[in-house]
Structure 1
Amino acid sequence: MTKCGYVSVIGRPNAGKSSLLNWLVGEKIAMVSHKANATRKRSNIIVMHNDDQIVFIDTPGLHETEKLLNQFMLDEALKAMGDCDLILFLAPVTDRVKYYEEFLEKNKKNIKHILLLTKIDNVTNEEMLAKMTEYEAYNDKYEAVIPVSIKKGTKHSDILNDVVKHLPEHPYLFDPEILTTEHLRDIYKEFIRESIFENISDEIPYETDVLINKVEEKDNVDVIKATIIVQKSTQKGMIIGKGATAIKRIGKDARLKIEKLSGKKVYLELFVSVKKGWTKNKQGLKDLGYDVE
């Protein structure tokens, strides 16, 4: 009998969750950004390991805030924590242990978890060992601690072997040929958002969003039309740029990302629209796909 189950990837904003998942699946699927709280919704990323299937759930970072959009994001992470077979908690090695303590408080169902010590490239071996010693005080809470360094040669199996140990025997939940259950439209949206954050200065707030208006699949090319949503007219000017240079740069970067995933030529047309205060009311959030309760 094969093993198969859901594994939620949890951590504070910018802990490296999406980067880890892209590395494990071997494809760029999850959005990666230097901006905190870039990931907004849960998404499933499927990894086959030998004969077993792991359904990883990418999640927004754990954080506290009163903003409606952020409350939606926190709810997404908490739902993922409560509805899985195993949790991977990502703890950057330079973080204080208090973030882990806060996670333990939020893990209401005491779901089993593995602690991944990330970003160890940034510290010496002595500093890494000292941090692992700090976590030993909680060794009755976690199943394992795994230091992770993609640059220094951590292998997929270093993580996946431990993950599979804690999954139930179960038939595959999804076709083993697919990498994600996400709709292509949602992946395209995230690629465009990522390109905005990469190509525009830090003055653009992370609340900037994207609405996919149309996807038309033709024989030789996919035609995608999308609208970038901002909250202020000054932000619209920054997105477009002088002589439309900024939006052209965003469009080229996003198009290359989409083409790499789809293996097909893409024609991408971008528009910009101002929607004042959309993050502050339920209807504005629902219009952009965030179903706030």
Structure 2
Amino acid sequence: MKSGFISLIGRTNAGKSSLLNYLLNEKISMVSHKQNATRRKINGIVMHGNDQAIFVDTPGLHESNKTMNKLMIETAIKSIGDCDLILFVTSVFDNLENYKKFLNLKRDVPHIIALTKIDEASDKQIFDKLSQYQKYADEFKAIIPTSTKKQAYKKILMDEICKHLPEHEYFYDPEFITTARGKDIYRDLILEAIFECVSDEIPYSTDVKVDKVVEKQDITEIYATIVTDNKHHKSILIGKDGATIKRIGINSRKIINQLVENKIFLKLNVEVDKNWTSDENAVKKSFEY
């Protein structure tokens, strides 16, 4: 029996959240084509035979002087020191610059590389990328080509991950798939809908607070507040005649229904807190689970 923690590390938009959802067969982590969408680390628990792998999805590694982004980077780097294994996630189409930067970080734990999106690449592209990484073969334990679109790759990746986990009793009940509370997952999934529905900088100056969740036999009621940093952004989030907030609500319910079988009632409000993105304590609180 093995049980351990694996930090998912990589650049923004490397596909870490998609990979976590793929390994879980459930959507608990937000996914967006926009950069820096993941803000909070979230644990996903995968049972593989008799072994328990606890994946920690982290914000993408990037460079920024903004308060929120700096704290996101700190969260990702801290997770490197709190795990048993690092899974460095990178696309077959990425160059090796981000991997080289990762190697410069202080690391006391081994890592393996998940080379994603191979279903979109030719055999030659895959072979060439594997050859490039072979220059660093002394650094990693393994490099595993994978694709979140094909289930066949899951066993190969999980076999390799569990090989490097310590012998240990389970940290969590094998029936659990995450340590996050339902309301915290809903918060991120609503934020994902905002990223989908609103363009430019607005999602980055916006967060979600889930005020209350009421679980009934055939319906889950979610009451949430969208927080943004100025009145102009608030008016855009609401939209003309409430069109945008309605679209955000529809998308949110659609995303949440991938996780919850109940009918979803969702009530969204928008409020302004002009200091929340620059106040370090406020940002740290928004990162909490």
TM-score strictly above 0.5: yes
Gaps (5+ residues) in structure 2?
Answer: none
Contact 1:3 1:164 survives alignment (8 Å): yes
For each residue in 1:39-84, what CA deviation from the matched residue of structure 2 results, as whole angstroms up to 9, or x when unmatched? 1111110000011110011010011211111111111111111111
Distance 2:202 2:152 in 1: 35
Shift of 1:205: 3.6
- Residue 245 to residue 78, structure 1, CA distance change in 2 (3 Å): same
Shift of 1:289: 4.5
Contact 1:7 1:55 survives alignment (8 Å): yes
Q: Map 1:1-293; keep pairs closer than 5 Å.
A: 2-106=1-105, 108-151=106-149, 154-289=152-287
SS in 2 for 1:56: strand
Deviates further, 226-235 or 202-211: 202-211
Gaps (5+ residues) in structure 1?
Answer: none
Distance 2:258 2:111 in 1: 34
Which AA in structure 1 matches 2:47? M
SS in 1 for 2:101: helix
Distance 2:108 2:152 in 1: 28
Identity of aligned residues (%): 47
SS in 1 for 2:257: helix
Q: CA RMSD in A?
A: 1.7
Distance 1:283 1:18 in 2: 26
Distance 2:150 2:51 in 1: 26
Contact 2:43 2:56 survives alignment (8 Å): yes
Which AA in structure 2 matches 1:202? D
Shift of 1:120: 2.4
Distance 2:98 2:199 in 1: 29
Which AA in structure 2 matches 1:252? I
Distance 2:153 2:92 in 1: 18
Distance 1:154 1:290 in 2: 35
- Residue 289 to residue 110, structure 1, CA distance change in 2 (3 Å): closer
- Residue 60 to residue 203, structure 1, CA distance change in 2 (3 Å): closer
Shift of 1:153: 5.8
Distance 1:290 1:49 in 2: 28
List structure 1 runs of 4+ shifted beyond 6 angstroms: none
Contact 2:34 2:195 survives alignment (8 Å): yes
Distance 1:218 1:127 in 2: 51
Distance 1:152 1:190 in 2: 25
For each residue in 1:232-253, what CA deviation from the matched residue of structure 2 results, as whole angstroms up to 9, or x when unmatched? 2221122111111111111122
Give the number of equivalent residue pairs.
289
Shift of 1:149: 2.0
TM-score by length of 1: 0.93
Deviates further, 264-273 or 17-26: 264-273
Shift of 1:152: 5.4
Distance 2:132 2:210 in 1: 46
Contact 1:35 1:206 survives alignment (8 Å): no
Shift of 1:257: 2.5
Which AA in structure 1 matches 2:144? I
